[in-house]
Amino acid sequence: MFSTARHLLSTPNRRLHNLNRSLLLPVLFQSRVSVLSSPFPASFKMSTSAMAKRLEGKTIVITGASSGIGRSVAFEFARTAPKNLKLVLTARRIDTLNEVAAKINQEVGDGVKVLPVKLDVSNPNEVRAFVPGLPDEFRDINVLVNNAGLVKGVAKAPEIAEEDINVMFNTNVTGLINMTQAVLPIFKARGTEGGAGDIINIGSIAGREPYAGGSIYCATKAAVRSFSESLRKELIATRIRVMEIDPGQVETEFSVVRFYGDKAKADAVYAGCDPLTPDDIAEVVVFVAGRRENVVVADTLIFPSHQAGAGVLHKKST
Ligand SMILES: NC(=O)c1ccc[n+]([C@@H]2O[C@H](COP(=O)([O-])OP(=O)(O)OC[C@H]3O[C@@H](n4cnc5c(N)ncnc54)[C@H](OP(=O)(O)O)[C@@H]3O)[C@@H](O)[C@H]2O)c1
């Protein structure tokens, strides 16, 4: 039921090690102490049940929910608050979203209402029509997870295809900004303190440490970082939380997309590595959304244990 607690309790070494590398260290350290020092992990269970209560009744929009991190985030929210939650899952592949929705309900039951919506975030007209097109019961959005994103190619300037430049900026930057602007009026109208709601932006280590062969992708993720920081400052007088999560290497369809569908090239990226799974990132996304209203986990960097930078990866010899 409380999957985050279950994961933390059942995989003591690798996952705690990975999470300790993030800026969540102080908060998780407390949880870890209670797990290790108490003969009964009841105190820990109580804290996750508080998290479930905070999430209950909320409406959560996830972009890029048809695959990888976004798909895992949908499952993790559903498992954490299975009694009363609304999920709006968006991506371009509607058939895949329908399958994800069915699997979620199969697993957690119908306490979680799931609405799959076909949405290309790189198309401003589709984003503009998104909120007005939602059924009333899904329109009171509490959490927006801006996850849709992609990388194309490894070309270096001046060989970078214009089409790739445009698709990366239109999706990772303009799409994320347009989604945020579409949802913010709902947040700003909520409560008496200038608004309330969560914007969780999925950035990347690439936004902090640019690398050769990734200039455009890195630039888009640096833009996400700047936008997130500006927005947090603009919303300082409200209860709207802007939180960024920057993953290192995660094994998803990401590299298959980067290499235009060449699975062999994508597999080679992960050879000899022990990358993060999308579930590892999903646990952190749900964790930050599940904090008390006055807690903003503003910025989080998450590596697998073999990684210490954008290009600093230890590969085991095979
Ligand atoms: N994997 C990594 O190593 C890694 C590391 C750091 C950050 N990230 C970031 O994590 C996020 C998720 O990536 P992932 O690793 O989970 O890759 P993924 O498995 O390829 O998933 C990407 C998701 O984005 C969606 N998407 C792409 N273009 C879209 C568009 N124009 N409109 C709507 N949805 C779109 C895809 O759905 P459709 O194709 O159905 O539209 C898919 O659901 C991205 O922002 C990525 O930059 C990934």
Flag whether pLDDT at 79 surpasses 90.
Answer: yes
Distance 21 CA to ligand 1 centre (A): 23
Domain over 57-302 is classified CATH 3.40.50.720: yes
Q: Would you call 234 helix, strand, or coil by DSSP?
A: helix
CA distances from 240 to 23, 116, 196, 202, 292 (A): 20, 25, 4, 17, 12
| Reported confidence tier of residue 317, pLDDT bands at 50, 70, 90 | confident
Flag whether pLDDT at 202 surpasses 90.
Answer: yes
221 flagged as catalytic: yes
Q: Locate the ligand 1 atom nearest the alpha carbon of residue 170 and give its number.
A: 31
Q: In what order do the strands lie in the sheet with 299-302?
A: 112-118, 85-91, 59-63, 143-146, 196-202, 239-247, 299-302
Q: For the chain, give the percent of residues with pLDDT over 90.
A: 83
Residue 7 CB burial class (10 angstroms; 0-12, 13-18, ≥19): middle
Query: Tokens 């899952």 belong to which residue?
Result: 89
Q: How far apart are CA 288 and CA 277, in angstroms?
A: 18
The reply to whether ligand 1 has any atom less than 6 angstroms from the CB of 202 is yes
Encoded tokens for 16: 């705690």
Q: How far apart are CA 287 and CA 271, in angstroms?
A: 30
pLDDT score at 268: 94
Q: Locate the ligand 1 atom nearest the alpha carbon of residue 97 and give its number.
A: 40
* Nearest alpha carbon, ligand 1 atom 7: 204
Are 199 and 146 in contact, with CB atoms under 8 Å apart?
A: yes
The reply to whether ligand 1 has any atom less than 6 angstroms from the CB of 122 is yes
pLDDT score at 283: 98
Q: Locate the ligand 1 atom nearest the alpha carbon of residue 72 and give its number.
A: 16
Are 273 and 315 in contact, with CB atoms under 8 Å apart?
A: yes
Encoded tokens for 135: 């059924």
Domain ranges of the chain: 57-302
Are 79 and 108 in contact, with CB atoms under 8 Å apart?
A: yes
Q: What is the pLDDT of residues 149-178, one digit of tens each?
A: 999 999 999 999 999 999 999 999 999 999
Mean pLDDT of 251-275: 96
Distance 196 CA to ligand 1 centre (A): 26
The reply to whether ligand 1 has any atom less than 6 angstroms from the CB of 72 is no
Q: What is the pLDDT of residues 116-156, one digit of tens each?
A: 999 999 999 999 999 999 999 999 999 999 999 999 999 99
Distance 4 CA to ligand 1 centre (A): 23
Q: What is the pLDDT of residues 180-194, one digit of tens each?
A: 999 999 999 999 999
CA distances from 200 to 81, 151, 237, 252 (A): 18, 20, 18, 19
Catalytic residue among 217, 260, 263, 315: 217
| Reported confidence tier of residue 48, pLDDT bands at 50, 70, 90 | low
The reply to whether ligand 1 has any atom less than 6 angstroms from the CB of 178 is no
The reply to whether ligand 1 has any atom less than 6 angstroms from the CB of 183 is no
Q: Which residues contact 126 (CB under 8 A, 6 or more apart)?
A: 119, 120
Lowest mean per-residue pLDDT among 7-11, 229-233, 295-299: 7-11
Q: How far apart are CA 203 and CA 243, in angstroms?
A: 10
Catalytic residue among 152, 221, 260, 316: 221
86 flagged as catalytic: no
The reply to whether ligand 1 has any atom less than 6 angstroms from the CB of 274 is no
Encoded tokens for 43: 């105190």
pLDDT score at 49: 85
* Nearest alpha carbon, ligand 1 atom 32: 120
* Nearest partner of 68 among 190, 204, 174, 168, judged by Cα: 204
The reply to whether ligand 1 has any atom less than 6 angstroms from the CB of 253 is yes
